[in-house]
Amino acid sequence: MTDDKGAARWRIIADLLRSDVVQDHYQPGQALPGEAFLASEYATSRPTIRKAIAQLVGEGLLTVAHGRGTFVRPTPDRRLILMGGSEREDLQAGMGTRHRRQRGRTHRRRCHSQLGTVHDHRGQ
């Protein structure tokens, strides 16, 4: 089944549902109408609706709970992950002083072992 432009019907329905989700017609966590309702709404078959939903599940917009329905996925919390070699004070601020001390000892031991020197820093 395709329309005049040659696009598959399930793709058109997926585009329409995607638009509804992105424009907050359906809120995060909200259930979409059932397959039978969507099939009658878009004048198509349930397998076509399932294929459109599967596309949106693959994109991470929807989730399907067998026997419960199709739901809009909640917007995930975004966290910044820094990658790199330099240590930053703002990242260390969340660590306890004991952890920072142990990390410092480990770093010193590693440096001394690479240099072939032995230092005892048990008092620190």
Q: What would the pLDDT profile of 60-80 be if each residue is shown by its tens digit? A: 999 999 999 999 998 765 666
1 within some domain: no
CATH, residue 14: 1.10.10.10
Domain that holds residue 94: 84-124
Choose one of 31, 46, 72: the last residue of a domain.
72
Residue 52: the pLDDT is 97
Structurally, the chain folds into a number of domains equal to: 2
Do 68 and 93 sit in the same domain of this protein?
no
97 within some domain: yes
The whole-model pTM stands at 0.57
Name the nearest CA neighbour of 17 among 3, 2, 5, 48: 48
Dist CA 1 CA 104 (whole Å) = 66
Report the interhelical angle of 46-58 vs 9-22 (nearest 10°).
50
